[in-house]
Amino acid sequence: MPTTKNIFKKILIWRYKHISERQFIYILSILVGFLAGFGAVILKNVTHFFQHLLEGNVVRDYHHAFYFLFPIIGLTLVYFVIKYVIRNKVSHGIPSTLFAISKRKGIMKRYQMFASILTAPITVGFGGSVGLEGPTVATGAAISSNIARWFHLNQTTRTLLIGCAAAGALSSIFKAPIAAIIFAIEVFSLDLTIASMLPLLLASLSAIITSRFFFGSDVLLPFVIEDPFKINDILYFIFLGIIGGLVSIYFTEVYDRIQKFFDKMSSPIKRLLVGGIGLGILVYFIPPLYGEGFEVINNLLVGNHEEALRNNFMQLDLSNVWIVILLLFGLVFFKIIASAFTFGAGGVGGIFAPTLFMGSVMGNCVAKIINTTGFSNVSESNFTLVGMAGLMAGVLHAPLTAIFLIAELTGGYELFIPLMLTSTISYSIAKYVHPYSVYAMQLGRKGELITHNKDHAVLTLMDIDKVIENNFVPVYSDMNLENMIKNAVVKSNRNIFPVLNKESEKLIGIILLDDLRPVMFDQALYKTLFARDVMQNPPEIIVIGKDKMTDIMKKFKESGAWNLPVIKEEKYIGFISKSKLLTAYRNKLIEVTA
C-alpha cells in the first residue's frame, strides 16, 4: 500500500517532468493568494464576531466598566493559548516575517501558519488596540514558506512567495490589489522585475476574488471623494505633511520605548498585568481606542465626529469645535500608547490599522484647526484621507503604498497630487530621524535587514559558518621551534598558523610561514626560540555574533589581509579567506538574482 510520502514523491517527479519552474511558481502564487485571502476572511470574521458580541451587546447594554475588563480578559486568554496550545512564542506579524527572510532563508515554522489565527482575533476582538493586517500577512507568509519547503523550492522563490502572500493578504483586506503589490515590494524589498511582477499580480488577483466571494463588494473604508482638490490648498497639504512627519517620529519613539520597557520584564505574567491594566484604563477612559478603530475612521470621513467621539468619559459638549479638536488630539496622542501596551502585554496584532487610525484623526484634526481659525475652508474628508497616507509613509516607510492605497480605496486619483506631496514630506522627515521603519527597526540596527541595495542584501543573506575554514594547524605559545616544524609546518598545507593559549584556547597571535623561513633550518634555535617570540598580532579579528558580513568585508578591505582569524566567545575557531568569501558572495549573488 503506497504511503503518503511515496505519493508526494511521485507528484514531485511528475511536476519536474511536465511543469516548468516558472509555470509552477505561477500556480503556487495563485494558491498562496487564495490561502492568504481565505486567512484574512477567517481572521476578520472571528474578530468581528467577538467585537459585535462584546462591545455591541455587553458594553453598551450593561455597563461601561466592561471597557476596562475585556482587554485584560482577552490578553489573559491569549497568554494561555500561547502557553498551552501553541507552546511557542508568537512574534509580531511583519517583523517576524522580515526576520525569517533575512536570517532564516525565508523558512518559517509550521506553528506560525495558525498561531496568529488563534490569537489575533482574541486580542483585537476583546479590545486590543492593534490591527489584523500584520497577523494576516504573517499567516499567509508562513503558509507560503512551508509550501515552498514541501516542494523543495530555493530561497529566492520562497521569498517571492512570501511577498505574494503579503500582497494577497492586503489585497483581500482592503480590496486594493495594486497597493498590495507595491506594499510587498516596498516592505519586503522584492525586485521589481517581470519574473516577480506576474506572480504578485496573480496572488493579488486570487486573493481579491476570494475576498469578494465571501464579503461581496463591502470594503473597510466605503468612501468616495466628493470634494475636488483645489490648488489653493497646497500649502495646507504641505503643512499636513510636516505634521505627519512629526507625528510619525512620535509614533516610532513611543512604540520603541514602551517595547524596551516591557522587554526588561523577565516575567510574562508581570508584562500581562502591567500592559493589560494600562490598556484597560486607556480604553475605559477613551472608548474609541477599543479594537482596530475603522468605525471611528469611517465616521470622521463622513463628518460625523459626534458618533466617532461618543462615550467620552467626561461627557463633554461635542458641539464646541475646540473640545472636538482636543479630543481628536487625545486620540492621536494615546492610540500608539494603547497599541504598545497591547503588544507589551503579549497581545498579537499589527500596527497597520493603528497607523491608519492615527493618520485619519490627525488629518481631520488639522483640517478642523484650519477651518476654525479662519485661514481657509478646506475639505475635512480629504484631509482625513491624506492624513492616513502621510502617517503610513512616515511610520511604515512605504510612501508608494500609502499613495496608491488611499487612491484605490476612494475609487479614483482625484487626490493624487496632495497624496504625493504629503506622503513625500512626511516620509522624508521621519526617515531623517529614524532610518528604519517600525517593522524593520530591530533588524536594521543589527545590520540584518534585507533592503533594495543588492550588494547589502546578498551580504546579509550569506551564511558566515559556511565560509569558515578549519584546516589551519594551531601552535601554542610555549612550543619551541623544533615542535612547531614537526607538528605544524610539516603537517600543514597553509602558510599561516594561529597561536593559542594552551589552557584557554584563546587566540593570542599568528605566525606566518615567512616568519619561520629565516630560522627554520638553524638547529641552534630549535630549543631556544618559542612561538611567542616570532608571533605577531593579526591585522584584524572576526568575532562571531558581533561582526556581520558587511563588517567582515570592510575588515578585509581595510587590512589588505588574505586570511583573517575567527573567534567565538573569545575562543579560536578558524579562518576566513578572502578568496572563499568572494566565491561564496558570487554564488549567493547568482542565487538571489536568478
The domains located in the chain, with CATH, are 4-215 (1.10.3080.10), 231-452 (1.10.3080.10), 458-593 (3.10.580.10)
Instruction: Give the relative orientation of helices 66-80 and 112-125 as an angle to the nearest 10 degrees.
Output: 170
182 close to 200: Cβ distance less than 8 angstroms: no
**C-alpha to C-alpha distances, 394 to 94, 198, 256, 391, nearest whole angstrom:** 17, 29, 15, 5
Which triple of cell numbers denotes residue 129?
488596540
Q: Taking 90 as the threshold, does the pLDDT of residue 537 lie above it?
A: no
Locus of grid cell 490627525: 362
Q: What is the pLDDT of the chain when averaged over all its residues?
A: 84
Q: Distance between CA 281 and CA 339 in Å, rounded? A: 13
Ranges 95-104, 417-426, 444-453, 470-479, most confident: 417-426
pLDDT in tens, 342-386: 999 989 988 889 999 999 999 999 999 999 987 788 989 899 999
- Residue 470: other Cβ atoms inside 10 A: 8
Which triple of cell numbers denotes residue 586?
558570487
375 close to 291: Cβ distance less than 8 angstroms: no
Q: Distance between CA 100 and CA 113 in Å, rounded? A: 13
For strands 542-543 and 475-476, give the pairing: unpaired
Q: Taking 50 as the threshold, does the pLDDT of residue 1 lie above it?
A: no
Tell me the pLDDT band of 338, cut-offs 50, 70 and 90: very high
Ranges 350-364, 400-414, 462-476, most confident: 350-364
Q: Distance between CA 268 and CA 345 in Å, rounded? A: 8
57 close to 234: Cβ distance less than 8 angstroms: no
Beta-bridge mates of residue 509:
499
pLDDT in tens, 171-222: 988 888 889 998 888 887 776 677 778 999 999 999 999 888 887 666 677 7
Q: Distance between CA 58 and CA 70 in Å, rounded? A: 10
Q: Which residues contact 593 (CB under 8 A, 6 or more apart)?
A: 191, 454
pLDDT in tens, 113-145: 888 889 999 999 888 889 888 889 889 889 998
Q: Taking 70 as the threshold, does the pLDDT of residue 305 lie above it?
A: yes
The H or E element that residue 566 is part of is strand 563-568
pLDDT of the residue at 61 = 54
Q: Distance between alpha carbon 416 and the CA centroid of its chain, in Å?
A: 27
Helical ranges in 151-233 per DSSP H = 155-174, 177-188, 194-215
225 close to 412: Cβ distance less than 8 angstroms: yes
Which triple of cell numbers denotes residue 476?
601554542
DSSP letters, 433-460, are: H-SS-TTTHHHHHTT----S-HHHHHHH
Range of lowest pLDDT (321-335, 412-426, 432-446, 561-575): 432-446
Q: How many helices (H) and strands (E) does the chain have?
A: 25, 7
SS3 track for 160-174: HHHHHHHHHHHHHHH
pLDDT of the residue at 446 = 47
Question: What percent of the chain stands above pLDDT 90?
Answer: 24
Q: Residue 570: left if φ>0, alpha if ψ -120 to 50, beta else—which one?
A: left
Q: Distance between CA 538 and CA 532 in Å, rounded? A: 13
Longest dimension (CA), the chain: 102
Q: Distance between alpha carbon 352 and the CA centroid of its chain, in Å?
A: 11
pLDDT of the residue at 331 = 92
| Nearest Cα residue to 139 out of 175, 160, 170 | 170
Compute the average pLDDT of residues 522-531. Answer: 80
